[in-house]
Amino acid sequence: MMKEATISTIPTSADGLSRVDGRAKVTGAAKYSAEYKLDGMTYAVLVGSTITNGTIASIDIKAAEKAPGVLAVITYLNAPKVPGHQVAKNPGKPEVKSGPLKVFYDNKIMLNNHPVAMVIADTFERAQYAASLVKATYNKQVHDTKPPKDINKGVAPSDGKDFTRGTADAWQNAPIKLEQEYTLPNEFHNPMELHAIIAKWNSDDKLTIWDKTQGVKATRGDIAKAFNLKEENVQVNSQFVGGAFGSALQVWPHEIAAIIGAKVVMRPVKLVLSRPDMFTSVGYRPYTWQKIGIGATADGKLVGITHEAAGQTSSYEDFSEGPINVSKALYACPNVTTRYKIVSLDVGTPTWMRGPGEATGAFALESALDELSYKLKVDPIELRLINYAKTDPVSGKPFSSKFLDEAYEIGAKQIGWKDRKAEPAQATQNGWLVGYGMGGGMFGAYRDKATVKAIMKADGILTLQTAVSDIGPGTGTAMTLIAAERMGISPDKIKFEMGESSLPDAPMQGGSATTATVGGAVYDACNDLKQKFQKLMGNGGTDKLDYAKILKDNNLPSLDVTVQSSLGSDGQKYSMQSWSVHFTKVLVHPKTGVVKIDKVVCVADSGTIVSPKTARSQIVGGAIGGIGMALMEEGVIDQRYGRYVNNNLADYHVPVNADIPQIEALFVNKPDPHINQMGAKGMGEIALIGMAAAVANAVYNATGKRVRDLPITPDKLI
Amino acid sequence: MKQFTYVKPTTQTTAVTAIGKPGTKIIAGGTNLVDLMKKGVTAPNRLVDINALPLKEISTTKDGLHIGALALNSVVSENATVIKLQPLLSMALKAGASPQLRNMATVGGNMMQRTRCVYFYDTTMPCNKRAPGTGCGAMEGYNRMHAIFGTSDKCIAVHPSDMCVALAALDATVVVTGKKGTRRIPFTQFHRLPGDNPELDNQLAADEMILSVEIPENNFAKNSYYLKVRDRQSYAFALVSVAAALDIQNGVIQSARLAMGGVAHKPWRLFDAEKALAGKPATEDSFKTAALIAMQGAKGHEYNAFKLKLAPATIVEALKHASGLV
Ligand SMILES: Cc1cc2nc3c(=O)[nH]c(=O)nc-3n(C[C@H](O)[C@H](O)[C@H](O)COP(=O)(O)OP(=O)(O)OC[C@H]3O[C@@H](n4cnc5c(N)ncnc54)[C@H](O)[C@@H]3O)c2cc1C
């Protein structure tokens, strides 16, 4: 059953199309939101609170207003009202939380660096200088930014009750069992591109924005609602996005602020967040405390798993995700109990970050399984195979496709799993301890609804249009490949247009759903367009068509179709998931505790790989994110002030080149026959989910030290 | 940032006149100063750009190796003479920052770079170094990167340089000039401990500038090593670093030089440990004894107590590398 992996580890031209926008990106021709130059452009800089909880007592903007080049200084006292901020009070049902932070709404301070003012000037430098002149005083109240240490202080989120399958807490009665706590600190998306918006009012009720967003349509809808505008009067452009990882899935206060500002000065306003602002303004992966109780029979059959988790959220808005979901679904375990709570603190609201929930949960579950494997003296892969879920343990439905067992086999061979010692701290290499570890992940394989317009013109160029954003995975490239295959034309004859809200509907780029969703629609649109041509030719015609000639022969300038496409009834019949497994070989210095990742092998089972090169990049990027999660990422708040102390890229560490070895990205590459015509499922999230556990497990194998509180820094190993 | 004026003198004399005025800052590579200005940590009203001065040379003189204050960190680290005569300096430089930063950073700027203490950088926080009398944010705060030697109740910041750790170990001399003339300061006395005046990092007067550093000849080239322990493999400041240089004849240490980074307000020279190594065999046992001596007087805080264990381990590892045991 061993199947040779189909992709070489370093892509060559034989692996197919390179990024269609690669040249534009590396030459600087690709324009990101902050890079547009508009006539009369002005520049906004935010001023944040220096306290964490309380109210603004006074705010002095006189000096700032007088500073050279300043056009406006906006605070809650003078800001025009945002219609969407004026929520109708429902006296019958008092609001528990006020909802998303309303910028310049009132004098309340909900978190440290809460925006209290915005300076708009004719240059960025002048705005920045004037911002330093704004002086606020505060009525300080006690704040609480301490992360949870158990679930006791938390409340169940509205969308998540405690869950039990079989007997509650059955792991306690298992012959072999363990219970451990795991923590994951606040992590930040920190895409290279800072969040940025340019807002321009074309008239009183017509707005255009250039904005970093993962969904131009959703952003258009939210902004139209906030400012009480007709949707068609709002144009959102987001042609290129320099990474987002979830941070641009919603409209944040700074976007509203820029739009308010543009209204005040009646000129285009550009607002680019600073790197420190990126730690408080656009969400983050929330600190999460987890406890896993797990038990098995002596031969490794899981008896029960209890997974408790408490994640932090803000005092004004609930955020919940699914860290406990992996424990329900990754293994065939008869008895599963989960309890998930959220704890309100005086911090900003978290948001989805690559592998939201699952990445957090998989660290705990896949660590616990590793711990169990040592107790049982069963190989970690074997333990996973003993408990392999052949049908979805939650719904009982069959999987639309699952080849995770093949992925285990491919990965184990590639990393050299046979060299792993069954007991920890047994192997050395040049004075460094050597360890191997693995960890797996799963994430729902979603396919949403999307509309694609396909236009074939007389010059033989096919244009595809849909309003999806590309935050970096290479959507344009994958869509071009799908269309080229369907139409039987060369990729260089295809133009893929996206990132504008006036284009046909597409969902946000999130949840690893774009290839399956938009790809499915591209496939259907091309199919329909091709049939239209075949009809023109009469009796079906051949499969290989000369589109330009057919148009010419029929005296037509172009032919087009607009097709909406979504998941069929198979969505009800099958459980659709993507799977991954990560293997690492690490070296740990026995005296200094330094960890070096020596080798990484990731194997994804995400259906057909439609674009080999960008798929590989996707896996490599996710694996690097997972290494960061394992070894270095940690947002630190000084609890006395409620303020982040490492809110920059020198102090908040993400991996650099020297930390990353050659990463081998392999794919099972077998189609999922139910999700779409290509058989392709998403892989953005699974690229990261399970990686942190693979590193932690390898560190244990090397040292005998189990680190359950991420990140694994040298001090925790000496 | 605040508006400032800018001058670029072309001779040493005009430069010395220019830096004498209050509110003036020298700018060299700008990799530290510009950040501090953007953050509002420092707000000079006048910048003196010294890059037009002829202070880039690397040469050997009767006093040893001479390196101009404007020699770039990258150039010094790749210089064949430096690698041959003082490999420890090259290793330390390469362990610092990133290639892009080293391409801009100068030797003088590196010596004068300010602490990376997060409380020093955030103007909303207390910091006696930035704003004397406001208190020390790090003392009871997040002090993972902070000092374990030579602290005061005013400041526990560390000097962040790697290069300076090697220069302290190698008995370098700093040549400075000002209106009162030129003077030579032993490297180990150039930086100072915080005491009651943590706002002062070093002995350089406000109207003085660094011209060069000089490293005397030595016998350490064969047995030198710079070991930096950090949270990632590049582009991170040291948790602890050790510069180790040994003169070993027939397996016996004739003389040793040791200095640590990431542990004090200045590059921390380990004189007592060096003495303990002299005359001893180059073995792990000797190194462990020296490391124990080196750690006398060390004091940890809430988040940096691990350095009490990491520092001696790093000393031993660095000495093992220097002596060829690994
Ligand atoms: C993200 C980041 C990571 C870094 N990591 C490391 C690291 O790991 N290890 C490390 O050692 N360093 C590191 N650095 C610091 C770097 O080494 C320094 O910024 C650099 O050496 C400063 O040199 P410069 O020429 O750019 O100085 P500038 O920024 O120009 O000046 C710095 C200071 O020196 C003064 N000055 C400059 N030249 C002279 C002179 N000739 N006489 C008197 N005063 C002078 C200036 O007035 C100023 O106060 C890092 C820096 C950054 C930004």
Tell me the CATH number at A694. 3.30.365.10
Distance CA A662, CA A645 (A): 33
Distance CA A223, CA A501 (A): 12
DSSP B267: -
Nearest to B242 by CA among B125, B66, B88: B88
Q: Is residue B252 part of a domain?
A: yes
Q: Which two tokens stand for residue B306?
A: 């691990």
Q: Is residue A517 part of a domain?
A: yes
Residue B96 CB–ligand 1 contact under 6 Å: yes
Q: What is the helix (H) or strand (E) element at residue B240, kind and residue range?
A: strand B240-249
Q: Name which of A129, A594, A645 is nearest B142 (Cβ-Cβ).
A: A645
Strands (E), A244-376: 269-272, 288-296, 302-314, 335-345
Strands (E), B63-179: 64-68, 173-178
Q: Name which of B1, B122, B239 is nearest A714 (Cβ-Cβ).
A: B239
Q: Is residue B237 part of a domain?
A: yes
Residue A685 falls in the annotated catalytic set:
yes
Q: Is residue B209 part of a domain?
A: no
Using a CB–CB cutoff of 8 Å, tell me whether B100 touches chain A.
no
Q: Is residue A308 part of a domain?
A: yes
pLDDT of residue A7: 43
Dihedral, CA atoms, B162, B165, B171, B176, nearest 10 degrees?
A: 60
In chain A, what percentage of residues exceed pLDDT 70? 96
Same structural domain, A411 and A350: yes
- Ligand 1, atom 11, lies closest to the CA of B161
CA A287 and chain centroid, separation: 16
Helices marked H in A11-109: 22-27, 62-66
Tell me the chain B residues in contact with residue A587 when contact means C-beta distances shorter than 8 Å. none
Interface test with B, best of A715, A716, A717, A718 (most B CBs within 10 A): A715
Q: Is residue A18 part of a domain?
A: no
pLDDT of residue A96: 76
Distance CA A430, CA A426 (A): 13
Q: Is the pLDDT of residue A11 over 70?
A: no
Of the residues B106, B116, B228, which should be mutated to test ligand 1's pocket, given the most ligand atoms within 8 Å of the CB?
B106
Which amino acid appears at position B263 of this protein?
V
Q: Note the pLDDT tens digit of each residue in B43-92.
A: 999 999 999 999 999 999 987 999 999 999 999 999 999 999 999 999 99
The answer to whether the CB of A452 falls within 8 A of the CB of A563 is yes
pLDDT of residue A93: 59
Using a CB–CB cutoff of 8 Å, tell me whether B76 touches chain A.
no
Q: Answer with the one of A566, A591, A616 that is the final residue of a domain.
A: A566
Strand-pair category, B268-269 with B173-178: unpaired
Rg of chain B over Cα atoms, rounded to whole angstroms, equals: 19
Q: Least CA distance to B124: which residue of chain A?
A: A50
Q: Which two tokens stand for residue A525?
A: 């649109």
Same structural domain, A594 and A464: no
Determine the 3-state secondary structure of B251 from DSSP. Answer: coil
Q: Is residue A604 part of a domain?
A: yes
Distance CA B107, CA B90 (A): 12
Q: Is residue A155 part of a domain?
A: no
Residues 6 or more apart in contact with residue A275 via CB below 8 angstroms: A190, A194, A647, A648, A649
Distance CA B126, CA B198 (A): 13
Which atom of ligand 1 is nearest the CA belonging to B164? 11
Q: Name which of A591, A645, A658 is nearest B118 (Cβ-Cβ).
A: A645
Confidence of residue A538 (pLDDT cuts 50, 70, 90): confident
The answer to whether the CB of A292 falls within 8 A of the CB of A327 is yes
Q: Is residue B22 part of a domain?
A: yes
Q: Is residue B87 part of a domain?
A: no
Q: Note the pLDDT tens digit of each residue in B306-319.
A: 999 999 999 999 99
**CA distances for A649 relative to A183, A275, A489, angstroms:** 22, 8, 45
Angle of the A216-226 helix axis to the A253-265 helix axis, nearest 10 = 60
Distance CA B244, CA B253 (A): 12
**Residue A272 alpha carbon to ligand 1 centre in Å:** 27
Distance in Å, alpha carbon of B294 to nearest chain A alpha carbon: 17
Average pLDDT in the B259-264 region? 98
ipTM over 0.90: yes
Same structural domain, A562 and A481: yes
Which atom of ligand 1 is nearest the CA belonging to B236? 8
Rg of chain A over Cα atoms, rounded to whole angstroms, equals: 26
Compute φ and ψ for A24, nearest 5 degrees.
-60, -40
Tallying the residues shown for chain A, one arrives at 718
The answer to whether the CB of A544 falls within 8 A of the CB of A486 is no
Residue B102 CB–ligand 1 contact under 6 Å: no
Same structural domain, A412 and A453: no
Distance CA A339, CA A357 (A): 14
**Residue B32 alpha carbon to ligand 1 centre in Å:** 5
Residues 6 or more apart in contact with residue A161 via CB below 8 angstroms: none
Q: Is residue A665 part of a domain?
A: yes
Same structural domain, A452 and A437: no
How many folded domains does chain A comprise? 3
**CA distances for B170 relative to A707, B89, B157, B165, B224, angstroms:** 39, 8, 23, 9, 10
- Residue B246, number of CB atoms within 10 A of its CB: 25
pTM (whole model) above 0.90: yes
Q: Is residue A413 part of a domain?
A: yes
Query: What range does the domain containing B40 cover?
Result: 5-51
Distance in Å, alpha carbon of B97 to nearest chain A alpha carbon: 10
Same structural domain, A550 and A585: no
Q: Is residue B63 part of a domain?
A: no
Q: Note the pLDDT tens digit of each residue in A660-704.
A: 999 999 999 999 999 999 999 999 999 999 999 999 999 999 999
- Ligand 1, atom 13, lies closest to the CA of B97
Q: Note the pLDDT tens digit of each residue in B32-46.
A: 999 999 999 999 999
Strands (E), A317-398: 335-345
**CA distances for A528 relative to A273, A521, A560, angstroms:** 44, 10, 9
Q: Is residue B103 part of a domain?
A: no
Which amino acid appears at position B289 of this protein?
T
Same structural domain, A419 and A484: no
Q: Is the pLDDT of residue A588 over 90?
A: yes
Average pLDDT in the B244-266 region? 98
Distance in Å, alpha carbon of A562 to nearest chain B alpha carbon: 49
**Residue B27 alpha carbon to ligand 1 centre in Å:** 10
Same structural domain, A628 and A692: yes
Distance CA B82, CA A271 (A): 47
Q: Is the pLDDT of residue A92 over 80?
A: no
pLDDT of residue A4: 43
Q: Note the pLDDT tens digit of each residue in A286-332.
A: 999 999 999 999 999 999 999 999 999 999 999 999 999 999 999 99
Tallying the residues shown for chain B, one arrives at 326
Determine the 3-state secondary structure of B232 from DSSP. Answer: coil
Which amino acid appears at position B254 of this protein?
Q
The answer to whether the CB of A278 falls within 8 A of the CB of A188 is yes
Dihedral, CA atoms, A558, A561, A562, A567, nearest 10 degrees?
A: -150
DSSP A397: P
Q: Note the pLDDT tens digit of each residue in A621-635.
A: 999 999 999 999 999
What CATH code is carried by the domain that includes residue B233? 3.30.390.50
Same structural domain, A339 and A352: yes
pLDDT of residue A539: 64
Tell me the chain B residues in contact with residue A591 when contact means C-beta distances shorter than 8 Å. 313-314, 316-317
Please state, rounded to an integer, the average pLDDT across all residues of chain B.
97
Same structural domain, A345 and A373: yes
Q: Is the pLDDT of residue B286 over 80?
A: yes
Longest dimension (CA), chain A: 80
Distance CA A568, CA A635 (A): 42
Same structural domain, A228 and A201: yes
Contact B229 A713 (CB under 8 A): no
Q: Residues A50, A51, A53, CA angle at the centre, nearest 5°?
A: 150
Q: Answer with the one of A545, A566, A587 that is the final residue of a domain.
A: A566
Please state, rounded to an integer, the average pLDDT across all residues of chain A.
95
Which amino acid appears at position B28 of this protein?
A
Q: Note the pLDDT tens digit of each residue in B112-165.
A: 999 999 999 999 999 999 999 999 999 999 999 999 999 999 999 999 999 999
Contact B124 A715 (CB under 8 A): no
Residues 29-88 of A with CB under 8 A from B: 50
Q: Is residue B309 part of a domain?
A: yes
pLDDT of residue B62: 87
Q: Note the pLDDT tens digit of each residue in A256-274.
A: 999 999 999 999 999 999 9
Query: What range does the domain containing A211 cover?
Result: 30-143+194-241+248-282
Average pLDDT in the A340-359 region? 98
Same structural domain, A335 and A476: no
Confidence of residue B3 (pLDDT cuts 50, 70, 90): confident
Q: Is the pLDDT of residue A91 over 80?
A: no
Q: Is the pLDDT of residue B214 over 70?
A: yes
The answer to whether the CB of A617 falls within 8 A of the CB of A699 is no
Q: Is the pLDDT of residue A3 over 60?
A: no
Residue A154, CA atoms < 13 Å, CB-side half-sphere: 30
Q: Note the pLDDT tens digit of each residue in A494-537.
A: 999 999 999 999 999 999 999 999 999 999 999 999 999 999 98
What CATH code is carried by the domain that includes residue A35? 3.90.1170.50
Distance CA A175, CA A295 (A): 7
Count the helices and strands in chain B (H runs, E runs). Answer: 13, 12
pLDDT of residue A537: 86
Q: Answer with the one of A544, A566, A588 that is the final residue of a domain.
A: A566
Which amino acid appears at position A414 of this protein?
Q
What CATH code is carried by the domain that includes residue B15? 3.30.43.10
How many folded domains does chain B comprise? 2
Q: Is residue A154 part of a domain?
A: no
Q: Note the pLDDT tens digit of each residue in A180-218.
A: 999 999 999 999 999 999 999 999 999 999 999 999 999
The answer to whether the CB of A120 falls within 8 A of the CB of A261 is yes
